[in-house]
């Protein structure tokens, strides 16, 4: 009788604990949805004020940002931010300049609130109990919104161009090698990414890809071992206080039995990369972790089954 009572009590406590976790996750999803709605409204207000400036280029950029899909929204909004940053505000009527500054400040605040909500939701979704019991249900995984954030709304938004070459390095099982890293300014926000890095002065894309593969993995690839570039990705991201306008070109290479050697990491990589692992397409589809490119899970199988047709595809 005593044993049965203990079992019942443990079951009730366990059920209450799981229910509390599920309820918290539901609240976090609601919070994330509300934060995105607030950010969307702040961006829309900025677009309205921008059109009031009666500048054709700014009005066109504002319209593109408003009509962009969620996947293309970041680039479109960052294009508008860049144009607004270059605007001579002394030529704008004081009342309108104040309205624009207020709209920009609201975008900054809304973006921070949204990304904080996304971070908290992702942390909860990554808990083992949440994944084992599928407590996330059918709720889509939220994603960060990366938009250039000036120190003050009136300051120009400076985007540093960053062309880079990346290598989708796969093994014979179709798994891809990814590194896990973080922005030193936001160490709690972890993400996974492919081998690769920025193009140095005088380098061709293929040369950069070969150099980065060697520095980050110890792998010496022949130039003809790289297929591509097969993909192109545009993204705006911040790293250690600097905002980059990134243009990434992806090559593909297949290797077997690679013993990853990270002794070639530079100081930045040493302090911002926390690990690496091989991922299958199925693992990428089911993970709650942030992975770039976002479409990697759906694109990976085709690399192993199809010959490259020579077309460079735009990916997210």
The pLDDT of residue 170: 93
Place of tokens 């492919």: 194
Give the residue-averaged pLDDT of 39-55: 88
Place of tokens 């062309």: 163
The pLDDT of residue 55: 86
Measured between alpha carbons, how far is residue 252 from residues 67, 75, 209, 229, 237 in Å?
33, 25, 10, 8, 23
Cβ neighbours for 113, distance < 8 A, ≥ 6 positions apart: 35, 38, 39
Provide the CB-side half-sphere exposure for 198 (13 A, CA): 11
The pLDDT of residue 157: 54
The percentage of the chain sitting over the pLDDT mark of 90, rounded to a whole number, equals 27
In whole angstroms, give the CA distance from residue 125 to residue 28.
10
Instruction: Report whether 118 contacts 142 (CB < 8 A).
Output: yes
Give the residue-averaged pLDDT of 112-141: 83
Residue 14 scores a pLDDT above 90: no
Q: Between 105 and 1, whose confidence is greater? A: 105
Q: For residue 230, give the H/E element and its range.
A: strand 227-239
pLDDT digits (tens, 9 = 90+) for 51-96: 888 888 888 988 998 888 887 888 888 888 888 888 887 787 877 8
Q: For residue 58, give the H/E element and its range.
A: helix 56-67
Sheet strands (E) in 132-194: 160-170, 176-183, 186-193
Give the residue-averaged pLDDT of 129-148: 81
Residues in the chain: 316
The tokens describing 42, both together, are 């702040």
Instruction: Report whether 28 contacts 124 (CB < 8 A).
Output: yes
In whole angstroms, give the CA distance from residue 228 to residue 212.
16
By mean pLDDT, which of 130-139, 176-185, 222-231 is the weakest? 130-139
Residue 152 scores a pLDDT above 70: no
pLDDT digits (tens, 9 = 90+) for 175-210: 999 999 998 888 888 899 999 999 998 899 999 999
**Nearest residue to 292 via CA among 148, 168, 199:** 168
pLDDT digits (tens, 9 = 90+) for 247-297: 999 999 999 888 899 998 989 999 999 999 999 999 998 888 889 998 899
Query: Whole-model pTM?
Result: 0.68
The pLDDT of residue 248: 94
At 212, is the pLDDT very low, low, confident or very high (cuts 50, 70, 90)?
very high
**Nearest residue to 135 via CA among 21, 10, 15, 16:** 21
**CA dihedral sign of residues 18, 186, 163, 277:** negative
Instruction: Report whether 232 contacts 313 (CB < 8 A).
Output: yes
Q: How much is the CA Rg of the chain, to the nearest whole Å? A: 23
Residue 169 scores a pLDDT above 50: yes
Provide the CB-side half-sphere exposure for 262 (13 A, CA): 17
Residue 104 scores a pLDDT above 90: no
Residue 153 scores a pLDDT above 50: no
Q: Please, what are the domains in the chain?
A: 2-132 (no CATH), 160-314 (3.90.79.10)
Instruction: Report whether 262 contacts 284 (CB < 8 A).
Output: no
**Nearest residue to 179 via CA among 271, 269, 251, 273:** 273
Provide the CB-side half-sphere exposure for 228 (13 A, CA): 26
At 245, is the pLDDT very low, low, confident or very high (cuts 50, 70, 90)?
confident
Distance of CA 82 to the CA centre of its chain: 20
In whole angstroms, give the CA distance from residue 116 to residue 136.
18
**Nearest residue to 108 via CA among 137, 70, 77:** 77
pLDDT digits (tens, 9 = 90+) for 15-33: 787 888 878 888 888 888 8
The tokens describing 130, both together, are 């949440």
Mean pLDDT of the chain: 85
At 221, is the pLDDT very low, low, confident or very high (cuts 50, 70, 90)?
very high
In whole angstroms, give the CA distance from residue 26 to residue 137.
10
């Amino acid at each position: 009788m005593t044993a049965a009572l203990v079992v019942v009590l443990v079951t009730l406590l366990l059920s209450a604990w799981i229910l509390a976790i599920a309820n918290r996750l539901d609240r976090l999803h609601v919070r994330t949805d509300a934060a995105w709605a607030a950010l969307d409204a702040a961006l829309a207000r900025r677009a309205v004020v921008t059109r009031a400036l009666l500048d054709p280029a700014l009005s066109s950029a504002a319209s593109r940002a408003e009509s962009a899909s969620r996947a293309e929204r970041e680039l479109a909004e960052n294009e508008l931010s860049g144009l607004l940053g270059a605007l001579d505000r002394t030529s704008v009527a004081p009342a309108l300049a104040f309205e624009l500054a207020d709209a920009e400040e609201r975008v900054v605040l809304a973006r921070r609130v949204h990304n904080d909500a996304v971070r908290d939701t992702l942390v909860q979704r990554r808990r083992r109990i949440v994944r084992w019991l599928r407590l996330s249900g059918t709720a889509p995984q939220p994603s960060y919104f990366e938009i250039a954030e000036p120190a003050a709304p009136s300051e120009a938004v400076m985007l540093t161009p960053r062309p880079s070459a990346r290598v989708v390095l796969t093994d014979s099982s179709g798994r891809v090698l990814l590194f896990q890293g973080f922005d030193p300014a936001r160490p709690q926000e972890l993400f996974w990414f492919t081998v690769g890095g920025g193009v140095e002065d005088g380098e061709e894309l293929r040369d950069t890809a070969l150099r980065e593969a060697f520095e980050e993995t110890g792998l010496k690839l022949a130039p003809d071992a790289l297929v591509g570039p097969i993909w192109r990705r545009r993204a705006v991201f911040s790293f250690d206080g600097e905002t980059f306008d990134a243009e990434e070109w992806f090559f593909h290479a297949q290797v077997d039995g690679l013993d990853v050697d990270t002794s070639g990491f530079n100081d930045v990589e040493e302090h911002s990369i926390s690990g690496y692992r091989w991922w299958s397409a199925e693992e990428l589809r089911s993970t709650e972790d942030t992975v770039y490119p976002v479409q990697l899970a759906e694109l990976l199988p085709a690399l192993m089954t199809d010959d490259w047709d020579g077309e460079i595809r735009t990916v997210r």
